[in-house]
Structure 1
Amino acid sequence: MTPRGATAGVLPLLLATALWSLPPTWGGNILVYPLDGSHWLNMNILLKELHERGHAISVVRSSSSWYISEDAPHYTTITVPVSTACSLEDPQYMASFLKRNLELRTHQRSLSSFIALQREAIALLDGAHRASARLARRVLEDQELVGRLKASRFDMMLTDPGFAGGVVVGRYLGLPLVLNVRWITNGEGHFAIAPSPLSYVPTLGSLVSDRMSFVDKLKNALHYGISQYVDHVTVRPLYRSLCDDFLDPSANIYSLIQGADLWLMRVDFVFEFPRPTMPNVVYIGGFQCKPSNPLSAELEAFVQSSGDHGVVIMSLGSLLGSLLPETSEVVAAAFARLPQKVVWRHLGPRPSTLGNNTLIVDWLPQNDLLGHPRTRAFVTHGGTNGVYEAIYHGVPMLGLPLIFDQFDNMVRLEARGVAKVLDVTRLDADSFAEALRELLDEKQNYKRNMVKMSGLHHDQPIKPLDLAVFWSEFVMRHKGASHLRTESYMMPWYSYHSLDVMLFLLCVLGALLTGFFTCCKVLLRLLAGKRKLKQS
């Protein structure tokens, strides 16, 4: 017989579970201003869930959008005509950008190469931010469109602040602002809102862990300086005219981002290094992950043919489909030496060194393959979506980082003992095959470490996607979340760092010391005068 007290304790839990599973009794009206490419892939998952819970969703997209469909069952679109596509929405541009980066890294190992790589990245960001500001201006200058947006009486703006046009539009419309974020306009999102000591919080591009030597700290400070240069010299001026024309001229795009009501941070601390945070940051890392579905009959037959050796998967993500031809030849030759079967998403010319154990495809069901019991390893460029899917399914990784945050992602995984990392510009068949053999060797503990990491990721009281939906609805219900947001971003830098207080205290201390020494000097003079009188 169950004790009465135990029953009383279980009933509220069952009631809360039942209430959470019910659809909402009201439907919010959400304006979404997303980014294209891989950022849209995870944003769209959140939108589908919000739609399932009864919310109406309107998505702003450019007419050149690559991923964001104009027709979808779970949202309506507001298409803004543009004459040219953003560079990040152009696969050919990104392929040429990758090629230039690999060539610089292959043929040069010097300060000039480092500077050239930084200039390439800044030029890409400059073009993308220009396109973002241009699109936002088209929206705000269209009085008919602005009138429709205001008449729609949206409850919330959901945007990705990697490029900040959506932040400006949301501020102009006066909407509560929720960010689906990991990166902002000049780097990692936490640096904009939370204390971020450079002694143990790595910044984008530094390629260091949270355990830094003195040299690592110098590198971290250097890359933080680069991010500040990007922010003040490249980013802020591009949005300056938008702020002047449509918002407060004293505002800047960085402070507008800092003033968001809620940050849905695509981070889980099983992956990210521990660091200070703020109460309006909600962690939803891996929210896009889900159980695997059955494979197609043809693909399932290929995977099953691997026997006990299992399968290795390789994919470079949605934006970067292939490596340079000579590098692909090396990869294919290394795969041919393995006893495992290989499924490789490859869009370039078919390598001449390809083995019979390797299946090349234009597209693969990455999540479903990662969740298959015969999958043994994942060769990846280190994109965030793929990394979290591998963590979710417990698959160790071999990283071939190519651009942007992929290097930093792999540093974190390597520090956790769940991945190996190779330099794609120094790749040869021997080193690649040996790295895979080490990764697949159970004695090396990569699989064991990854299973433990996956268990930590799954051991949460609320699923990350449910958490994202709850807090989005919270902002709509309460017309914002200003009680969770610090107003420190409105303080001048000298006040934020208490330099004014320190200066005042130094002045007081200086005055006290001056007074003390003056008194001492006067006393000494008086004593000296008395001695002279006695002597006379």
Structure 2
Amino acid sequence: PWSRGLMMLWAGVYVSLCLFLPCVVHGEKVLVFPMEGSHWVNMKILIEQLHSRGHEITVVRSNDSWYIKENSLLYTSITVNFPSGFDENLISDYVSKLLEIQRQGKSAWMRFNFEIENTQTGLEIHRKCSQMVQGLMEDEIKMKFIRDSKFDLILTDPVIPTGVIMAHYLGLPLVYNVRWATLGEAHLSFAPSPLSYIPLTGTMFSDKMSFFERVVNVLVYAVGYMQISYCVSPYQGLIEKYVGPDEDYFSIFLKADIWLMRVDFVFEFPRPTMPNVVYMGGFQCKPAKPLPQHLEDFVQSSGEHGVIIMSLGTLIGSLPHDLSEEIAAAFAKLPQKVIWRYTGDKPSTLGNNTLLVEWMPQNDLLGHPKTKVFVAHGGTNGIQEAIYHGVPILGIPLVFDQPDNLFRIDERQAGKTVDIFTMNRDTFYESLQEVLYEPTYRNNMQRLSRLHRDTPVNPLDNAIFWIEFVMRHKGAAHLRTESYKMPWYSYHSVDVILFLGVVCFLTFICILTTYYQHKCLKLQTKKEK
């Protein structure tokens, strides 16, 4: 009958629409407080994905921003007319000072100077950042725009606390894109972290520590806590003014709904965690795309020997000239071709086999079948990309968390680390030869690659799901522990242990007293008889 035919026609139209029309997504509004450098590279990937799903993105940036552009097709920007403290010159000078201190040689005095420089620069950065936060809060036009926009969520990198303070001021759900935060390594801030098997950054210990290593671990924790408390002190006045007089930075920091953690336990040591942590380590990794033609020609010219690539990340384009000369001389002795991301003066020892570039498609080069070794400084992004593509690493750690990151690769025998401050061209060449021709390194890294890829959900899709989950449900308080409200002695059950100790002591005293009373009574009875 004609009615059945009409129903079939409508069914066909419906199926066609479902198959061929793009999915309609109800777009929400996301306010983003990012961080500069490689942190922005990570955040931008999340922004791109959220934008592709129909969400409106607004990014807050400072007027000295060097990575985060004011104009973009992905987002609307709000530029705060105050420096953030993370301007390019300050960070470049800071890193140069740290490198110069380390070149003095390993000693207690060197370590003391290193920590003093970290603390002083950290305080300077946070003072400037607190001024930027205050400048934004007191800018009536920008704050009116932010309030009127009725954002559904704040997404922030909590290395700087602008987004943290603003989320609590506006009463908005808060999601972190995090590995490092103002309070240090993110896990240590909120997850159970027994110092008996959770090594602190800077110790270069594994999760199997000796007694004296555990002593050092505890001391590093104590010193780090004092440094952090000192550096975040400029924010306390802002928090009391805009969030509440009874609040402090440590407590509001721990109220985030979801922590998107840039960690993969293929790389990290096992540790306790919490239900509102979403692990997305390697979310920026993807299959390699074809190289630009000039790079492809250079790579193919390597023949059977293959290619080595070298990059020192976003903050360090070049090394001190004498170190660059040694590295270039070692590269010149190799039959392999070398692609080196380098922005300094051309080393005089540079060989014909080495191509210097100001920028390289790192992920695509790591995924090329002719790439044999990745010479890297140990940044998290580079290590995760190397793991994804199964390329062994020759590490030359410089500053921050880089030595610890590369130590984890060493522990898994997927690479080798050299001390850049004591090496010369011969030791660097020998280390390269070892990583190139000892199959253990490549085999172990490829094993890590298989483990990393064998997941039920793509890390980026998982991260986006949880961001949208928080927007759909106006938060995720049911996943958040309230332990941050407890004083330290309650959190560690010190009060309970003391109470039970006192009870046991009093019980013992009572038993002892009763025993002596009973004994004395028996003696008195004997005397009376």
TM range (shorter): over 0.9
Question: Aligned pair 1:143/2:140, yes or no?
Answer: yes
Matching residue of 2:79: 79
Matching residue of 1:499: 494
Instruction: Identify the match of residue 446 of structure 1 among 441, 444, 453.
Output: 441
For residues 374 and 22 of structure 2, what CA distance do their matches in structure 1 show? 37
Distance 1:252 1:22, change over 3 A: farther
Instruction: Give the letter aligned to residue 317 of structure 1.
Output: G
> How far off is 1:154 after superposition?
1.0
Write the deviation string for residues 480-519 of structure 1: whole angstroms up to 9, x where unpaired.
0011111000111111111222222222222222222222
Distance 1:249 1:72, change over 3 A: same
> How far off is 1:148 after superposition?
2.1
Query: Superposed, which structure 2 residues align to 1:47-196 within 5 Å?
Result: 47-82=47-82, 84=83, 86=85, 88-90=86-88, 92-196=89-193
> How far off is 1:522 after superposition?
2.2
Question: Aligned pair 1:350/2:370, yes or no?
Answer: no
After superposing the two structures, state which structure 1 stretch, 119-128 or 153-162, moved more.
Answer: 119-128
Query: Superposed, which structure 2 residues align to 1:436-515 within 5 Å?
Result: 436-443=432-439, 445-515=440-510
For residues 96 and 487 of structure 2, what CA distance do their matches in structure 1 show? 42
For residues 520 and 222 of structure 1, what CA distance do their matches in structure 2 show? 45
For residues 348 and 216 of structure 1, what CA distance do their matches in structure 2 show? 39
For residues 408 and 22 of structure 2, what CA distance do their matches in structure 1 show? 38
What SS class does the counterpart of residue 424 from structure 1 fall into? coil
Instruction: Give the letter aligned to residue 521 of structure 1.
Output: Y
Matching residue of 2:214: 217
What SS class does the counterpart of residue 96 from structure 1 fall into? helix
Query: Superposed, which structure 2 residues align to 1:15-414 within 5 Å?
Result: 23=23, 25-82=25-82, 84=83, 86=85, 88-90=86-88, 92-235=89-232, 237-414=233-410
For residues 361 and 333 of structure 1, what CA distance do their matches in structure 2 show? 17
For residues 211 and 518 of structure 2, what CA distance do their matches in structure 1 show? 50
> How far off is 1:219 after superposition?
2.8
> How far off is 1:520 after superposition?
1.9
For residues 125 and 231 of structure 2, what CA distance do their matches in structure 1 show? 11
Write the deviation string for residues 428-452 of structure 1: whole angstroms up to 9, x where unpaired.
0111011111101143x11111111
Structure 1 residue runs of 5 or longer lacking an equivalent are: 1-17
Instruction: Identify the match of residue 520 of structure 2 among 522, 525, 533.
Output: 525
> How far off is 1:25 after superposition?
3.1
Write the deviation string for residues 69-101 of structure 1: whole angstroms up to 9, x where unpaired.
11111111111101x452x321x3333333322
TM-score by length of structure 1 reads: 0.93
RMSD value, Cα: 1.7
What SS class does the counterpart of residue 425 from structure 1 fall into? coil
> How far off is 1:227 after superposition?
1.5
Write the deviation string for residues 28-67 of structure 1: whole angstroms up to 9, x where unpaired.
1111111111111100000100111111111111111111
Percent of aligned positions with the same letter in both sequences?
51
Q: Is the 8 A contact 2:261 2:277 kept in 1?
A: yes
Structure 2 residue runs of 5 or longer lacking an equivalent are: 1-17
Matching residue of 2:3: none
Instruction: Give the letter aligned to residue 128 of structure 1.
Output: I
Q: Is the 8 A contact 1:37 1:89 kept in 2?
A: no
What SS class does the counterpart of residue 421 from structure 2 fall into? helix
> How far off is 1:24 after superposition?
5.4
For residues 418 and 475 of structure 1, what CA distance do their matches in structure 2 show? 37
Q: Is the 8 A contact 2:84 2:129 kept in 1?
A: no
